[in-house]
Structure 1
Amino acid sequence: MNPRRRIARTLLCGALLPLSACGIPATGVVEAGEPATGVRGPAGTPTPTQAPSEAVPAAAVPLYFVADGDLVAVTRTVIGATDLGSAVLMLFKGPDAEERGRGLTSELPPAAEAPTVRADGAAVVVQLPKGTGGLSETAVDQLACTVAVARLRQDPALGSAQVTVEQPGGRLAGRSSDDCPTGAADETGDMGGSTGGHTAGG
């Protein structure tokens, strides 16, 4: 073999040896997979897209407390969906700091467990758990009016709601939304009744 060809072949093999020793094929660029997607930033780098966050709706919850012996309707705005049971739980927890600052109180005793609320059209039954003490007329008014107005907010087409409070020992007390003071109830557009005071006891 020509000495010059032998030297050229040796140099060529020496140049290819590092590639083969590292396991890199000498075939050029191999493309695989799908191209990257997304919005590119100013520097040309892909930026992952994000789904728009859904806003959590706010709900207006009617509650009835007491001021100078009369019922007072207030509306609390809370985040997220609410139901009749949620309104009752908030009522039993009593006025918040801002409401207490306005002189509002509650005659409802602390509840060891949540009352049971059953709705059938315009008729709603609130069953107090065992161990709950007897409620005063004002406490029954607070509970019944809160549930009645909350029920009308669920279904304004009802026009009115009848609430029965079942107390331990089989004592029953009935109230109609028509007897509840206006205030928070005004937003339903269907509430009438007095501007304060107690409704007839049961």
Structure 2
Amino acid sequence: MTRPALPRPRWLRSLLVLPPLVLLLVAGCGVPVEDTPRVIEVGTPSRVATAAPSAAASGPAAESLYLIRDGALVAVQRRLPAEPDPQGLLTDLLRGPTEAEQDRGLGTALGGQGVVASVQLLGDTAHVELPAGIESTGRNDDVLAFGQIVCTLTSRAGITGVVFTQQGARIGVPLPDASLSQVPLRAADYATLIANG
């Protein structure tokens, strides 16, 4: 006389379903199945890439960029293979400080590549077009940001002033005394913010 089969406990039925389910999930996520175990070498983690240049280039030409340290504008000299045009100069400024410059405590008040749409040289005045939606709040960071642009561009031979526009119309930008100006600006307008030495 055979004994009737006892029903399997629910937990045992769950365990029997689990291996095929795991195989289905692994196959579905795109992870290839390997026949032999693979050794994974652990090394030092790589550094996260940033928009900032890693080192200043060298060459016969020079550019002056104005970065910030302790709430002041600081002139930084970089050597380049050739002198950049105004757009190239502004692009270098917007990339921010190199790692070596960061180690010296230098930073930027500019938020990156989207801050400036373009720069065009008309006569000896650089016309900097700002994207729509960027508004000046008059805060110290804004004053420093505009100071960085003005001092950097006017450090280049042939540029005596900088005006800022949005959709081609001049806009007022903040000065250190909290006033707004639409006239061509020079480094002298931000002289109180420039660090000595």
TM-score bracket for this pair, using the shorter chain length: 0.5 to 0.7
Partner of 2:152: 146
Segment of structure 1 superposing worse, 105-114 or 160-169: 160-169
Query: Secondary structure of the residue that 1:95 maps to in structure 2?
Result: coil
- 1:178 is aligned to 2:179: no
Partner of 2:99: 97
Between the two proteins, what is the percent identity of the paired residues? 27
Alpha-carbon shift at residue 113 of structure 1 (Å): 7.5
CA distance in 2 between partners of 1:71 and 1:106 (Å)? 9
1:23-172 aligned at under 5 Å gives the runs 58-112=60-114, 115-132=117-134, 134=136, 136-150=142-156, 152=157, 155=158, 161-166=160-165, 171-172=171-172
Unpaired segments ≥5 residues, structure 1: 1-55, 182-193, 198-202
Alpha-carbon shift at residue 123 of structure 1 (Å): 1.8
Query: Secondary structure of the residue that 1:112 maps to in structure 2?
Result: helix
Segment of structure 1 superposing worse, 110-119 or 137-146: 110-119
Contact kept in structure 2, 1:109 and 1:133, CA below 8 Å: no
Find the structure with the greater CA-based Rg: 1
- CA RMSD between the two structures: 2.9
Deviation sequence 1:148-178 (CA, Å, 0-9, x none)? 112x2xx3xxxx7111122579633352133
TM-score by length of 1: 0.52
CA distance in 2 between partners of 1:133 and 1:96 (Å)? 27
Segment of structure 1 superposing worse, 74-83 or 126-135: 126-135
CA distance in 1 between partners of 2:96 and 2:108 (Å)? 6
Please tell me the residue identity of whatever aligns with 1:177: A
Deviation sequence 1:16-39 (CA, Å, 0-9, x none)? xxxxxxxxxxxxxxxxxxxxxxxx
Contact kept in structure 2, 1:111 and 1:132, CA below 8 Å: no
Alpha-carbon shift at residue 134 of structure 1 (Å): 3.9
Contact kept in structure 1, 2:164 and 2:170, CA below 8 Å: no
Please tell me the residue identity of whatever aligns with 2:162: V
Alpha-carbon shift at residue 133 of structure 1 (Å): 5.7
TM-score by length of 2: 0.53
CA distance in 2 between partners of 1:163 and 1:114 (Å)? 13
Query: Secondary structure of the residue that 1:64 maps to in structure 2?
Result: strand
Please tell me the residue identity of whatever aligns with 2:128: V
Which of these residues, 191, 194, 197, is aligned with residue 196 of structure 1? 194
Taking structure 1 as reference, are residues 83 and 64 closer, same or farther at Cα in structure 2, changes over 3 Å only?
Answer: same
Query: Secondary structure of the residue that 1:142 maps to in structure 2?
Result: helix
Unpaired segments ≥5 residues, structure 2: 1-57, 174-183
CA distance in 1 between partners of 2:119 and 2:164 (Å)? 9
Taking structure 1 as reference, are residues 119 and 143 closer, same or farther at Cα in structure 2, changes over 3 Å only?
Answer: same
How many residues are treated as equivalent by the alignment?
A: 123
Deviation sequence 1:83-119 (CA, Å, 0-9, x none)? 1111100111111111111101100011238531122
Moved over 4 A (4+): 167-170
CA distance in 1 between partners of 2:136 and 2:155 (Å)? 23
Contact kept in structure 2, 1:162 and 1:176, CA below 8 Å: yes
